[in-house]
Homo-oligomer: A and B are copies of this chain.
Amino acid sequence: MFEQNKELMRAEILTIGNEVVSGLIQDSNSQFLSSRLNSAGVNVRRMTSVGDDPEDMVDALNGALERVDLILVTGGLGSTHDDLTKQVLAQRFGHSLVMNDTVLRRLESIMASRGKAMTPGFRSQAEVPDKAEILHNAVGSAPGLLFQHDGKKVYALPGVPKEMRHLYEKYIHPELEANSSGRIAHRLLRTTGLSESELWPLVGGVEELERWVSVASLPSYEGVKIRLSASGKNREETLSKIEQAERWLVPKIEKYIFARDDELMEEVIGRLLLKESKTLGLAESCTGGLIGHRLTQVPGSSAYFIQGAVVYSNEAKMRLLGVSEETLRHFGAVSRETALEMAKGICERSGSDYGLAVTGILGPGGGSEEKPVGLTFIAVADSETSHCEEFRFHQDRKINKERAAQAALNLLRLRLLRVL
């Protein structure tokens, strides 16, 4: 696993809100911030969540102030009675609250655009700690705040993810990156098709790799992510280590790497189809629409995704895709033969260049000794060729669905790259 570099700036993240500690919502802000801080060369040492309780907030804040120089607080900056972060921080650092005209004008324009009158609660968001720096919020109402105290920085950001991200990217990340001189860099290699225990033997151990980088390997249902992390005196040295590690590693597992860094499988597929000016038709049985959903998460996907058929019933497979009754009777709905006819059928009937088809048994019911839960056939066809692969997933219904969708997109990717 990835070793943290102890020379880097150290930070903590503090999340405020009863909705988090009571389990009503999942805190996604902390992961976003830790990932971004990390990429800016900051070492996140601890993440803490407490409820809307001033004593707990001050206690958690004081602990963090003892340990690190940079603290990011999220949540509790809104306009309702349980939003106490601003008051608690102002009191802790000895600030008074003063009305800020720029923020007030923004609040007024928000209310005007909603056709509503200003309320005292909403207006109170323009009261800011007098010695704090204001991080103006262009996508919401509550501004962010920066407190400087004994050489330490405490940023307070709204809990609404969109607003938090906006303020972080605008005010915090650029400054951290400018100061970090590129002393840390990461490269994420996204693989699919092999488990961790199948993947690493192909690499042959990480010792060689660790001459240049530290390595984190993270399995998920979509595949194994490998993160390479390097640190050095400057950006050039750091990036060069990453590149050396990649030159050594990638050739050993190239076929399984579908994307780097933040790129998603559905974006890769879109890029490859656009490059060839080709179109796609989908025939989904057990994935139920998940592949179409993933493809259409990408803006502009209408340029290559022509049509999808969700064919849960045998009748729909025959009527919409032209799968023959005989094939279904002889081989069953979950079979190589049916998958191939589905892929050819959607390709012909949608007039797409490629047809992609999935049929499988998700579970928990529907399995047999001959055809167990998890058995899945995936086929890809164009006007001349067709190819089908058999998969045996385990786990439960939802996981089998995720795996089947990912395996199907990967089969298409390999076909588009002429690996198949």
Contacts and interface: CB of A to CB of B under 8 A. Distances in A.
Contact of A309 (B49, B299, B310, B363): B310
Contact of A307 (B45, B225, B296, B312): B312
A23 B46 contact: no
Interface string A280-298: 0010101111111111110
Interface of A: 1-4, 18-28, 30-38, 44-53, 56, 60, 63, 80-82, 216, 218, 225, 227, 282, 284, 286-297, 299-302, 305-313, 315-316, 319-320, 349-351, 362-365, 397-398, 401
A294 B310 CA distance: 12
Contacts of A28: 26
Given A18-B2, A288-B292, A292-B288, A38 B26 contact: no
A291 B292 CA distance: 10
Contacts of A36: 23
Contact of A284 (B289, B294, B306): B289
Contacts of A216: 18-19, 22, 24
A270 to B, nearest CB: 13
Nearest 3 Cβ contacts at the A-B interface: A289-B292, A23-B35, A288-B296
B296 A293 contact: no
A310 B307 contact: yes
A18 B35 CA distance: 11
